Structure 1
Amino acid sequence: MKSLATAAMIALSFSAAGFAQAADTTPVTRAQVIAELQQAQAQGLVTIGEEAYPADALPTSTKSRTEVLNELAAAQVAGRVSVGEAAQYPVVRIDQGAEKSRAEVLQELHAYAASGNHHIPA
């Protein structure tokens, strides 16, 4: 019964789409097309060149410029903002303090190498 109802809904949607398309057969003049294009370009809905298509909707913000700058400054102080090529990778803070000192890590490394489990070049 569900498949019959689904098939009926699909058939109705195709026929409704056909009627809607058939109803919109009034010819559009070249001037109307140009006016619509200019309006779409003014609204930023048309992309040019290698930009993504279709154009993404422009984001709207309710924050003031000062609020955004304050958020940026806070993110920079917290180390959550990177600049340049590093922007592609997560920010890693190296000044957070390690659990082990460098000497402890080197001691573990040499002990591991001395155990014969793995050869480490000098």
Structure 2
Amino acid sequence: MHSTTGGDAFALDETAPGQLLRLRGRLDVTAAADARLALSDAVDAGDGDLVLDLALLDGVDATGLGVLVGAHRRAGRSGRTLILHDVPPAVGRLLRRTRLDRVLRQSASAASPACA
């Protein structure tokens, strides 16, 4: 699956269906609806950990944070764990400032078989 919003501003590539997604660009208000739908579909499509690779994510606004929290909640209700992988420093600082680092699980390296 590949979803792009606002030109090349945001893209999401589903590398391993229901297991690993790579986010690129900005996760903001213009990308929120498409990102929310793609993440919901990914949660529903698999089981076990759902890894979001954020290495190429340029930034996140408040709406984008809401999308991540919503995906975290949906994953939890489905018995899955959402893991943010390779979080860029600026996004990590925002997660700490908003204390979402206490809610959203992060990893420096994903140990999911889907990443192999």
TMscore range, shorter length = under 0.3
**Greater percentage in strand:** 2
Q: Using structure 1 for the length normalisation, give the TM-score.
A: 0.18
The structure number with the bigger radius of gyration is 1
**Structure with the higher fraction of residues in helix conformation:** 1
**TM-score, structure 2 normalization:** 0.19
